[in-house]
A and B are shown apart, each in its own frame.
Chain A
């Protein structure tokens, strides 16, 4: 359960405040939630706020669940350090013991298919290699909720298929918060939908209703 209490979030721009949420009160039951909205409506911010990485300007977001970092994100990697030591860093960050750390390292090494590059500094990686590493890293940890921000496709076709299957496997055991413009993926992975529009938040029990509303907005209707 994620509870939003009187939540307001805005960004200051030159033309005043740009509201993403205005005094929102809602309780979200635990399920796979897709987040929809037009560009700049604040989907990513919304996802990050629900995941506790960002904070509202006013109000509170309360949840007893654990949330992942956004899937496939390579922020916080040190270019000078090897893939292995970066993986080690993250597993230290989550207080894993030696055994668990070794398991994680083995998993990421095998999943990312980096071979010898795994022991080379990350700055020598191509962007595809980097995202393979961070994708594998995300899959190596367990959370109640996984945050996914439009990063379902990484690497070449073969790896993409493997990544998608691994992810589908993974989300059997956790919930997801998914930001995407791809209606097909939203329908496939999510049961409920959150729609952001003009500072308002619409919650739909059925993702298809959220998609219909979203398409109406795109056609220019209210």
Chain B
């Protein structure tokens, strides 16, 4: 009993990095191990979605002859990929605390790590999907060159932070009031239609524009669309509105989380 070796302490940062790395590969492994075709479905799903919406769009424009001055395929691809990133983060954050209860037996894993890992995974998956889309576009001879690549990247990363804030807030709320999760389910049902994902806001009547602009996602979509496609502009985008929608949920979420972390763990 005298020869107790004290285990070497690791710094807080290296513990955090190790946990994130472990969780990231775990989540990736879970995604990829859905049957034998996990990898295929991970990327085929968004592709199929965009494809069908393009088909519908093409049918509509055929009938009313309303030709747009930009490429709808590209427009929809970047819109859907961005929207899916948001939606997946929102959905997976909702139950992240409950789903990962077992992991809390490892002292270094905190509930927020599980949400953060899912956000990072989503960043990785989104990047892969975008690259695949660009590759497909390249092969099919689309004009895939973005108008302002830097702004596109900023738009995506900003949306990611926005999603993390909302997701954290929902995650914390949902672990105390399940109705929050249910409400989010209902809300996210309509979000796809009301978020300017597959249409530019400028094509809508002014009254509809005014109402939709209360939805922060519309600003994100307009920003991403307009920075990719040269014939669109960001006249509707209110950057300070986006900023408020990013930091208020994020800091509220972090504040509530630090207050309630021990309660969430002990639940």
**B18 to chain A: closest residue by CB:** A95
| Contact between chains at A92 and B22 (CB < 8 Å) | yes
**B15 to chain A: closest residue by CB:** A95
| Contact between chains at B266 and A55 (CB < 8 Å) | yes
Q: Across the interface, which residues of A come within 8 angstroms of B29, CB to CB?
A: 78, 81, 85, 89
Give the size of the chain B interface in residues (CB under 8 angstroms).
Answer: 35
Known contacts A55-B266, A173-B5, A174-B4; is-contact A93 B18 (Cβ 8 Å) = yes
**B6 to chain A: closest residue by CB:** A144
| Contact between chains at B108 and A93 (CB < 8 Å) | yes
Known contacts A89-B22, A92-B22; is-contact A175 B103 (Cβ 8 Å) = no
CB of B100 within 8 A of chain A? yes
CB of A19 within 8 A of chain B? no
| Contact between chains at B4 and A54 (CB < 8 Å) | no
**A48 to chain B: closest residue by CB:** B105
CB of A99 within 8 A of chain B? no
| Contact between chains at B100 and A95 (CB < 8 Å) | no
| Contact between chains at A173 and B3 (CB < 8 Å) | yes
CB of A142 within 8 A of chain B? yes
| Contact between chains at B26 and A77 (CB < 8 Å) | no
CB of B25 within 8 A of chain A? yes
| Contact between chains at B103 and A75 (CB < 8 Å) | yes
Cβ contacts B95-128/A at 8 Å (1 or 0 each):
0000011111111110000000000000000000
Q: Which of A92, A142, A172 contacts B21 (CB 8 A)?
A: A92
Cβ contacts A32-53/B at 8 Å (1 or 0 each):
0000000000000000000111
Q: Provide the bound-state CA to CA distance between A36 and B106, in Å.
A: 24
CB of B33 within 8 A of chain A? yes
Cβ contacts B193-217/A at 8 Å (1 or 0 each):
0000000000000000000000000
| Contact between chains at A93 and B102 (CB < 8 Å) | no
Known contacts A66-B7, A92-B22, A144-B4; is-contact A76 B106 (Cβ 8 Å) = yes
Interface of A is mostly: loop
Report the minimal beta-carbon distance from A46 to chain B, rounded to whole angstroms. Answer: 13
**B109 to chain A: closest residue by CB:** A93
Q: Which of A31, A54, A69, A142 contacts B265 (CB 8 A)?
A: A54
| Contact between chains at B104 and A53 (CB < 8 Å) | yes
Cβ contacts B1-33/A at 8 Å (1 or 0 each):
101111101100011011101110110011001
Q: Provide the bound-state CA to CA distance between A92 and B33, in Å.
A: 19
Report the minimal beta-carbon distance from A95 to chain B, rounded to whole angstroms. Answer: 3
CB of B262 within 8 A of chain A? yes
Q: Which of B4, B9, B10, B100 contacts A173 (CB 8 A)?
A: B4
Q: Which of B4, B10, B15, B30 contacts A175 (CB 8 A)?
A: B4
**A68 to chain B: closest residue by CB:** B107
| Contact between chains at B107 and A172 (CB < 8 Å) | no
Known contacts A54-B266, A173-B3; is-contact A80 B108 (Cβ 8 Å) = no
Q: Provide the bound-state CA to CA distance between A173 and B1, in Å.
A: 7
Q: Across the interface, which residues of B come within 8 angstroms of A66, CB to CB?
A: 7, 9
Q: Across the interface, which residues of B come within 8 angstroms of A73, CB to CB?
A: 105
Q: Provide the bound-state CA to CA distance between A121 and B33, in Å.
A: 10
**B38 to chain A: closest residue by CB:** A80
Q: Provide the bound-state CA to CA distance between A175 and B3, in Å.
A: 11
Known contacts A173-B3, A174-B4; is-contact A51 B106 (Cβ 8 Å) = no
Q: Which of A54, A76, A85 contacts B103 (CB 8 A)?
A: A76
| A-B CB contact pairs (8 Å), 20 listed | A54-B265, A55-B265, A69-B107, A75-B101, A75-B102, A76-B100, A76-B102, A76-B105, A77-B102, A81-B30, A85-B29, A89-B25, A90-B106, A92-B18, A92-B21, A93-B22, A94-B18, A95-B18, A142-B5, A172-B3
B residues apposed to A, CB below 8 Å = 1, 3-7, 9-10, 14-15, 17-19, 21-23, 25-26, 29-30, 33-34, 100-109, 262, 265-266
New A-B pairs, 14, CB < 8 Å, besides A75-B101, A81-B33, A90-B106: A51-B107, A52-B107, A69-B105, A76-B103, A78-B26, A81-B30, A88-B25, A92-B22, A93-B19, A93-B108, A94-B108, A95-B17, A121-B33, A175-B4
